[in-house]
Structure 1
Amino acid sequence: MRIDIWTDIVCPYCYLGRRRFELALEQFEHRDEVEVQWHSFELDRNADPVVEHDLPDLIAAKYGTSREEATAQHERLAVEAAALGLELDWRRARHGNTFDAHRLVHLAAEVGGPELAGRTHDRLMRAYFAEGLAIGDRDSLVHLAPDLGLDPAAVRAMLDSDDYGNHVRSDEATAKMLGITGVPFFVLDRRYGVSGAQPTEVFEQALAQAWTAKDEAREPAMSGGGCGGCGPDGCGGACSA
């Protein structure tokens, strides 16, 4: 069974949603028969490579909220992340354009398949949310290459070229075709859509439902209500039925 997941590297709800999905998959009895494919979604195509601004100030200015509200939101997210065993140090986060980071995930997929793509995606998120790495800086991305078993020279050559840019744009075109306007977004067996950083229990139910129906005629359906996500107009939202 195939799971397609659209995220952006700097989306905090994608960070949480990824972990909740992973926890559900760990408990899924058919997990060894599941292939996960990661897809690109840029929340801000026009962002500079590195944005040297305090994150709450940046969010407040971009989405028309107050610094206090943005700070409180990130504090809540940090607590939620800690409950999942993740570190979310928003004070160190160095925002920036994610196009090159997405290209790196696609390079990893070509070199090592879905498994290496997944490891690369995870490493990039940890670097941004926990280590203060400037995700849009090409030198920083090259620095991560050895952690992934990738040749730094090959990563540098890719970043200095246009390679895999069409892969990013193809992912985004598919998202638009599917009506995906925010991330994270999960498509299970090309049939069930799950939107947002849902509780682990929702992902468990969706996996079981998709597996049970995998040999039936395909009729796309949505699973789960809104539950925290990021879109062009901002990040937020509490879980709803």
Structure 2
Amino acid sequence: MRIDIWSDYVCPFCTVGERHLSLALENHPAREGVEIVWRSFQLDPDAPTEPEGTMVEYLSQSKGMPVGQVEAMNASLAQRAAAVGLEFNWREAVNANTRDAHRLGHLARGRGLGTAWDDTVKSGYFTQGKNVADHDQLRVFAEQVGLERAEVDRVLASDEYADAVAEEIALARQIGVQGVPFFVFDGRLAVSGAQPVEVFTQALDQADQADQADQAGQSVRDDQ
């Protein structure tokens, strides 16, 4: 089973939703055959590479929401995160452009390190308050997951993988993705948002049953 996940590194709901999927997979009979494919998405392609204030200030200004409302929203999200073993230090989070992090994400995928990269960068933003647009910080993340320094420097000094990032964002738009996280199970079943673990379990069940039905049908055709 293949699960495509569109997400952004500065999207706390993505981190929570992916954790819910992970919990659903832990005891699912199809877990050994699951392939996760990370897809790029940018909530704010025009975000600055140098942070301009805190994430709370950014959301308040960009969404026209009172600071108190943004703080209450994030405090509630932090509680949801804590319930599944995640720590969301939202007061330390900074808004920053994720384009270069996504470009390096494509490099990591090509080296079989896509999941490690995703986990490391999101933890850096979600828990540690790191600037995920800063090239020096991205190099630290890259070292932590085992990417070669020369390759990382080459990508950061160029526009390598920029087209791949843009293509995945365009694909998301084509299939109707309006927000992230967005999960597609075997190209036919979609789940949007940080849904409860039970919803992901149901999606896994449905996708697994559909796979088994396809295999049974193929077996019948082969025997004819």
Alignment TM class, shorter chain as reference: over 0.9
Q: What are the superposed Cα offsets for residues 134-161 of structure 1, whole Å, 9 maximum, x if unpaired? A: 0011111011122101122321211111
Aligned length: 214
- Could you say which residue in structure 2 is the equivalent of 1:71? 71
C-alpha separation between the residues in 1 aligned to 2:189 and 2:80? Answer: 26
1:148 matched to 2:156? The reply is: no
| Unaligned runs of at least 5 residues, structure 1 | 218-241
1:4 matched to 2:4? The reply is: yes
Whether contact under 8 Å (1:145, 1:152) holds in the other structure is: yes
Whether contact under 8 Å (1:50, 1:135) holds in the other structure is: no
Residue 216 of structure 1: how far off its partner (Å): 5.0
C-alpha separation between the residues in 2 aligned to 1:99 and 1:54? Answer: 19
- 1:82-121 matches, within 5 Å, as 82-112=82-112, 116-121=113-118
C-alpha separation between the residues in 1 aligned to 2:97 and 2:199? Answer: 31
- 1:181 is aligned, of 171, 178, 182, to 178
Amino acid at match of 1:119: A
Whether contact under 8 Å (2:45, 2:97) holds in the other structure is: yes
Which one has a larger percent helix, Structure 1 or Structure 2?
2
- Could you say which residue in structure 1 is the equivalent of 2:159? 162
Whether contact under 8 Å (1:143, 1:152) holds in the other structure is: no
Whether contact under 8 Å (1:8, 1:183) holds in the other structure is: yes
Whether contact under 8 Å (2:82, 2:88) holds in the other structure is: yes
SS of equivalent residue, structure 1 residue 46: coil
- Could you say which residue in structure 2 is the equivalent of 1:193? 190
Residue 40 of structure 1: how far off its partner (Å): 0.5
Residue 95 of structure 1: how far off its partner (Å): 1.4
Amino acid at match of 2:210: A
Q: What are the superposed Cα offsets for residues 84-133 of structure 1, whole Å, 9 maximum, x if unpaired? A: 11111011112100001111111001112xxx101100110000111111
Q: What are the superposed Cα offsets for residues 23-49 of structure 1, whole Å, 9 maximum, x if unpaired? A: 111111111111010001101111111
SS of equivalent residue, structure 1 residue 5: strand
- Could you say which residue in structure 2 is the equivalent of 1:46? 46
SS of equivalent residue, structure 1 residue 70: helix
Q: What are the superposed Cα offsets for residues 1-23 of structure 1, whole Å, 9 maximum, x if unpaired? A: 11001001101100100100111
| Unaligned runs of at least 5 residues, structure 2 | 215-224
| Structure possessing the higher radius of gyration over alpha carbons | 2
Whether contact under 8 Å (2:6, 2:182) holds in the other structure is: yes
C-alpha separation between the residues in 2 aligned to 1:185 and 1:152? Answer: 31
- Could you say which residue in structure 1 is the equivalent of 2:220? none
Task: Report the aligned-residue RMSD.
Answer: 1.1
Amino acid at match of 1:43: L
C-alpha separation between the residues in 2 aligned to 1:191 and 1:173? Answer: 18
